[in-house]
Amino acid sequence: MSKRLNGLMAAALAAFISTPALAILPDSGMWSIGAELNGKPGRGIQIDRQGGSTLILTYFGYRADGSSLFLQAAGTLKDGKQFDGVLTEYRNGRALGGQARDGELAQEAGPVQIVFDTSTTATITLPGEAPQRLQRFQFEDLRKRLNGKFVHSNSSEYANLSPGRITIQAGENTLTMTETPNNSSGGCQYTGDLKPAGDGFHSKGSARCVWGERINDFAYEAKHLKVDEFGNLSARLYLGSPQQPGVYNFRQFITGICEHQGAIFLATPRCYPDALQVDPALQRE
């Protein structure tokens, strides 16, 4: 049996296998509460997660008299999406320029609950308040990093890699990706929207894949699509039937590195900082 046929059969088999649910792991960073983001000083939430399911949450806001207030809570995600904790206030810690001293518990402000629906959006219930939306605070536009060509590989639920190249064109609100595998005819083209999501992007749309003489149409959703300051591409890509929007039965993990588009001498180097529009100092260690 040819390798080509083997690959097609594996893809067909994978299309009938339901992908296991993944926990919704929230982005670390600053989150804004409801419709309170208006460009003026306000309140918010800082979430820290260090690669696992444990979260440390810091609330910064105000008391009724207008003085500033910070509260903290810690806990683990339940059911892969829900955080429950108790917001706690502390006092008598070290002041700026002051002598070292330990803080102490002042009081518990009450329970806090966050239910995440994506890694950058959630619903939060604060003490004494109705549930309201919570979203990752977006303060930098990184979509220009997406534009370019990348040497990449993708893998599905099996521990095998499919190397190739992918070209990305990112507009203000649109995304086009063309994926071409190495040593094979055909490939896939993805066309959809583009929305900022924390330090990456989210995209939904349609895909057309050509494998030999076969043409297949899919609905797709790309999560955690990002290119970091070193030019590393990563994303989770979900595919499903166009007749069942939002139902995905095939998942791919994409990783890659951007290619330099200038003159090539011995081998193609990774793209330079100016192509990513980043300060060269960010690539120094």
CATH topology of domain 29-35+43-136: Lipocalin (2.40.128)
Q: Among 127, 112, 45, which residue's Cα sits nearest to residue 82? A: 112
- What six digits make up the tokens of 59? 């609330």
191 versus 1: the higher-pLDDT residue is 191
C-alpha distance across the termini of the chain, in Å: 48
**Is a pLDDT exceeding 90 seen at residue 211?**
no
Q: What does the pLDDT read at residue 37?
A: 86
CB distance 254 to 152 below 8 Å:
yes
The model's pTM: 0.77
SS3 143: helix
> Six-digit token pair at 217?
């149409």
* CB 245 within 8 Å of CB 220: no
Where do the domains of the chain lie? 29-35+43-136, 141-280
Which three-class secondary structure state does DSSP give residue 17?
coil
- Second-level CATH architecture of 141-280: Beta Barrel (2.40)
Q: What does the alpha-carbon distance between residue 108 and residue 284 come to, in Å, rounded to a whole number?
A: 44
pLDDT of residue 39: 84
In angstroms, rounded to a whole number, what is the distance separating the alpha carbons of residues 282 and 140?
15
pLDDT at 80: 87
Rounded to 5°, the CA angle 248-141-240 comes to 10
Per-residue pLDDT band at 193 (split at 50, 70, 90): very high
Q: How far is CA 61 from the centre of its chain?
A: 27
Q: Please say whether the beta carbons of 179 and 188 come within 8 A.
A: yes
| pLDDT for 268 beyond 80 | no
Q: What is the pLDDT of residues 49-96, one digit of tens each?
A: 988 889 999 999 999 999 999 999 999 999 889 999 999 999 999 999
Exposed/middle/buried for 121, CB within 10 Å: 0-12, 13-18, 19+?
middle
Predicted pLDDT of residue 63: 94
Lowest mean pLDDT among 89-103, 117-131, 217-231, 261-275: 261-275
Chain center to CA of 190: 18
Question: Residue 73: how many CB atoms within 10 A of its CB?
Answer: 22
Check residue 267 and give its pLDDT: 62
Query: From the centroid of its chain, how far is CA 119?
Result: 6
Distance CA 98, CA 245 (A): 58
Domain 141-280 in the same topology as domain 29-35+43-136: yes
Measured between alpha carbons, how far is 172 from 224 in angstroms, rounded to an integer?
A: 17
Average pLDDT of the residues of the chain: 85
- Total length of the chain: 285
Residue 40, pLDDT score: 87
